[in-house]
Structure 1
């Protein structure tokens, strides 16, 4: 939204420690489907195109700041003095905003659509409260109304609140002018903290208008322990898989398929059972992944097949077959129409079009030209005990079974190494070598 025009501001509360998580990591930095909880909330908040977006940080502030990254304003709450204190510290960060939306950073299932609905419901109100109705309100406060149905306060969870069925979901919208005029009047509780919920009673006492907007229970799920974290993961995973199936992706068994929020999959891809697709992986149309495959921050081209293998931080071209039981490690690019068979491992290598590497082989720190045949048991010996070295294999070369390529070494285009060769010196284009150490073979007699 243009910062020169009035518009809503968003405050994301992310300062708490989360003691019930029993973790050294701040609560909001625990991940749900590959993304921190606070990042899920920030992404949802962008649906209303906020004029300003502030994140309140406190416990392990630097960790949270680094994890969230640029694009938001950070407000530090140096002492944990409650949600009222946290919001008051955002006065300057919300300058120029006509409405202030307050969200919890531990609600990863919150959607942009829910925030849009909450903001719309607050159009003429002094305060809007997100609510839902559940049988077990747990530790959440309830919304209390008078005989005419008007909200008079938010009652914290206690025995006296058991008759109230509307649960405070913990998301609010305030008229900005009213908020900054009154936030400083919020008193301290017995614990010495100032709670944002006290503002509801203040609005009612002043004759202001409070609206409630019912939101889905899942959206309001606050994660405060490991059980809730697992619940949120399961719900998010279901949402992701359901969306992908609607977009034309076949997921054979959603119950055993794990796909992160940052993954992009095109239509007509098939995901077999037991597959884990993590990070920012990309899969192009027509490819099949799995079963029992792990992709992490990797790109798979069109019409490729990856079976029971692990691919990390790598790029796979079109019409490639990988596996079963292959391992493609970080920094690798596999060209189109390549074949990597069982127990093939490739690391930090550039592999050209049409290379065949069928089984029990290792390529590390290598540049491989197109059309190379890399036979069973061949290995690049890339580490000398001190440093890593690269191997270069030219187009159309044939690397025989159990060949050891001792880097740094270059194999020329069309060259051939015999079975069991230990190559310690460069091999020229079209040259044939064999033996330990490898030596040139005589030219074949004309037939």
Structure 2
């Protein structure tokens, strides 16, 4: 079977991280989102060809594929969506490569898992949507179940302002070629051709089923990387490939990459993932849920909790970092403290 990954979007809501790279190349647990999804597709043992729909910073994705393609036992092709005209238009750009068989379509910048993909591919419906319950339905496309046949989807309603259900479309689908047999689908208010409108045409014909996912991590804002990171860290197994000096304490699951030095007095509570060629300590405290990229430096009396550090980042001494995402080549000034708690119980928001 073939899989299509939508990777063309600019993703302004993940600025500033996506000013320098497309969202599928953001890292979670020291792997790009694209690598994670390709590994999950490989794990299904059902996907033999992957088609990437690219646009924004497409050269970076092409370079990444050239470097990593040998890791994946499938053919990887790229199709350029020259103009950002919506998700349905992106799918249309790959039509000539799909042939006459059913295929998988998924957002290339959210995190999906092999177990759920396999369940979706086993669906008996003409087309099927992978769904997942959400706490804030008004932020998602919500799937309405057909009251006459509870195995079918009645419609997908984008960001409903009144409660109608909590099952969100995850952006992962299995389609037969008939998905392209559509009537007059009009562009959205943004002037784009959207997948939900395409799918709703087939819902009206009673052709769309659904499967509920066990795990799904949508990445809409930079901080959405944190729960995805925490889950992936929970799956790790302990591995120490670097060097530990005397008087280092490791609790629970800790992974240390090759060439990394953990200095005396460092206390690490897992799950924690530390990349390659890093220097940690002395006397640093690394708390659960933390991923540190490659070539990072964490110095004296630094405490880090539930955070992601991209490559080449330095937190030199007397710092606290909590519930944060740092991009590449960040250098904290000595004594910098991040504020991660509001005493009024409100939400800490970014002005980005």
1:181 shift after superposition: 2.8
Q: Of the candidates 61, 64, 69, which is equivalent to residue 61 of structure 2?
A: 64
TM-score, normalised to structure 2, is: 0.65
State whether residues 30 and 293 of structure 2, in contact with CA within 8 Å, keep that contact through their aligned partners in structure 1. Answer: no
Runs of 4+ in 1 over 6 A off after TM superposition: 290-298
State whether residues 179 and 202 of structure 2, in contact with CA within 8 Å, keep that contact through their aligned partners in structure 1. Answer: no
1:258 shift after superposition: 5.2
Tell me what 2:117 maps to.
Answer: 115
Tell me what 1:14 maps to.
Answer: 7
1:188 shift after superposition: 0.7
Pick the structure with greater CA Rg: 1
State whether residues 126 and 203 of structure 1, in contact with CA within 8 Å, keep that contact through their aligned partners in structure 2. Answer: no
State whether residues 52 and 78 of structure 2, in contact with CA within 8 Å, keep that contact through their aligned partners in structure 1. Answer: yes
Tell me what 1:157 maps to.
Answer: 159
Tell me what 2:126 maps to.
Answer: 126
- State the distance in 2 between where 1:279 and 1:74 align: 30
The change in CA–CA distance for 1:203 and 1:139 in structure 2 (over 3 A counts) is same
Tell me what 1:173 maps to.
Answer: 174
Tell me what 1:190 maps to.
Answer: 189
The change in CA–CA distance for 1:185 and 1:259 in structure 2 (over 3 A counts) is farther
Contiguous gaps of at least 5 residues in structure 1:
1-7, 245-250, 264-271, 282-289, 299-307, 310-447
- State the distance in 2 between where 1:36 and 1:206 align: 38
The change in CA–CA distance for 1:279 and 1:56 in structure 2 (over 3 A counts) is farther
- State the distance in 2 between where 1:10 and 1:206 align: 24
Higher relative contact order (CA 8 A, sep 6+): 2
Contiguous gaps of at least 5 residues in structure 2:
70-74, 240-248, 259-266, 300-352
Q: In the TM superposition, what whole-angstrom CA distance separates every residue of 1:1-40 from its partner, at most 9, and x where no partner exists?
A: xxxxxxx210011111111111312211111111111121
The change in CA–CA distance for 1:276 and 1:179 in structure 2 (over 3 A counts) is closer
The change in CA–CA distance for 1:297 and 1:125 in structure 2 (over 3 A counts) is same
- State the distance in 1 between where 2:256 and 2:137 align: 31
1:291 shift after superposition: 9.6
1:166 shift after superposition: 1.5
The change in CA–CA distance for 1:82 and 1:238 in structure 2 (over 3 A counts) is same
The change in CA–CA distance for 1:279 and 1:197 in structure 2 (over 3 A counts) is farther
State whether residues 137 and 160 of structure 2, in contact with CA within 8 Å, keep that contact through their aligned partners in structure 1. Answer: no
TM-score, normalised to structure 1, is: 0.52
